[in-house]
Amino acid sequence: MKPAPFVRHVPRSLDEALKILAEVAGDDGRILAGGQSLVPIMAFRLAKPAHLVDINEVEGLDKIADDGQTLTIGARVRHAAFHKPVTANPLGALLAYVARHIAHYPIRMRGTFCGSLAHADPSSEWCLTAATLDAVMIAKSVKGIREIKAASFFDGIMSTHLKEDELLAEVRLPLLPADAKFGFYEFSRRAGDFAMSASLVTYRLDGGKMTDARVGLGGAEASPRRIAEAEAQLNGKAPGDAAFRAAGEAASAAIEPLEDHQTDAAYRRDLVKVVVRRALEHSLK
């Protein structure tokens, strides 16, 4: 299984990358970032791009910046950059915890945060994170810059609203309130496998009651998203078994489950109940 022939372009600057992308996009030209999803797909010949715009030599794409409001993640920031917290804000600990669940160590040395979002696997941990925290995607092309909110970025399984000549140049994540709590849980059959379902939650406590609850769900539907019905079961309640179970039930009822040859809809609904509850339980640890 060898990839089909392609022409490799190696831009040194972002402007150069955008120019080349504009030229080759119509001829099935694509960005090559970490290659940890694209190269396997090419090896299977599921993709035979005629041109690859390799962004590994582009200056300045590997920056992570915390301006006190937002964490900005550049197009070539690799998963492994998050192994240790990148900010003292609770978001740093959240990203470090989530990162450990992505694939395996050597894959995390190459794969990128933005590449995960562009690839849009329904089970991707970073896609779930972006959806849960309402990230903003910055897409650039020779025509200009577009800001796309996470809620309108994903377009089903392995599909986004990025245009073919657009490069996802950075992703902006809002910092969490200093007292924010988070929890994450995913279920997969083997360590490093894509999750069959995953949940990320955040909330704050006000007088012992949860407020600003976010319940994100990945791997269960075609795209990850926040589940308002589950969040409603948390706000105003004390954290604990009753509220956590109610949120799990609400999420399970709210979804349009993915089905595959191993998992039918009923199984996925059951799994969601457990995954959401365990993510919430993790927030207390």
Partner 1 sequence: MSEKAAITLTINGKDYAIAVEPRRTLADAIREDCGQTGTHIGCEHGVCGACTVIVDDAPVRSCLMFAVQAAGKKIRTVEGLASGDTLHPMQQAFMDNHGLQCGFCTPGFLMLAVGVLEREPDISDEDLIDVLSSNLCRCTGYQNIIKSVRAAAAEMRK
Q: Which residues bind ligand FAD (CB under 6 A)?
A: 30-38, 40, 75, 102-103, 107, 111-112, 114-116, 118-119, 121, 124-126, 162, 167-168, 192, 194
Closest contact distance (angstroms) between CB of 130 and ligand FAD is 11
Q: Based on the shown chain and the rule CB under 8 A, indicate whether residue 36 belongs to the binding site for partner 1.
A: yes
Closest contact distance (angstroms) between CB of 49 and partner 1 is 10
CA angle 124, 126, 127 (to 5 degrees): 65
Side-chain-side CA neighbours of 97 within 13 Å: the count stands at 19
The region, left, alpha or beta by phi > 0 then psi within -120 to 50, assigned to residue 207 is: left
Name the E strands within the chain. Answer: 7-9, 29-32, 51-54, 64-66, 70-74, 136-141, 144-149, 167-174, 181-187, 197-206, 209-218, 225-226
User: Which one, of 32, 70, 38, lies nearest residue 54 by Cα?
Assistant: 32
Site string for partner 1, 162-201 (x = CB under 8 A): ----------------------------xxx---------
Looking at beta carbons only, is 32 or 91 nearer to ligand FAD?
Answer: 32
Closest contact distance (angstroms) between CB of 58 and partner 1 is 13
Looking at beta carbons only, is 208 or 262 nearer to ligand FAD?
Answer: 262
* Nearest residue to the partner ligand FAD, using Cβ: 111
SS3 37: coil
Looking at beta carbons only, is 129 or 233 nearer to ligand FAD?
Answer: 129
Looking at beta carbons only, is 56 or 263 nearer to partner 1?
Answer: 56
Name the E strands within 15-135. Answer: 29-32, 51-54, 64-66, 70-74
CB atoms within 10 A of CB 162: 20
Site string for partner 1, 84-123 (x = CB under 8 A): ----------------x---xxxx-xx-------------
Q: Based on the shown chain and the rule CB under 8 A, indicate whether residue 5 belongs to the binding site for partner 1.
A: yes
Query: What distance in Å separates the CA atoms of residue 139 and residue 20, rounded to the nearest whole number?
Result: 15
Q: Based on the shown chain and the rule CB under 8 A, indicate whether residue 29 belongs to the binding site for partner 1.
A: no
Q: Based on the shown chain and the rule CB under 8 A, indicate whether residue 45 belongs to the binding site for partner 1.
A: no
Looking at beta carbons only, is 89 or 112 nearer to ligand FAD?
Answer: 112
CB under 5 to 8 A by kind: which of partner 1, ligand FAD, none does 234 bind? Answer: none
Query: What distance in Å separates the CA atoms of residue 166 and residue 151, rounded to the nearest whole number?
Result: 18
Pairing mode, if any, of strands 136-141 and 70-74? unpaired
Binding site for partner 1 (CB under 8 A): 1-8, 35-36, 39-40, 42-44, 52, 54, 56, 80, 100, 104-107, 109-110, 190-192
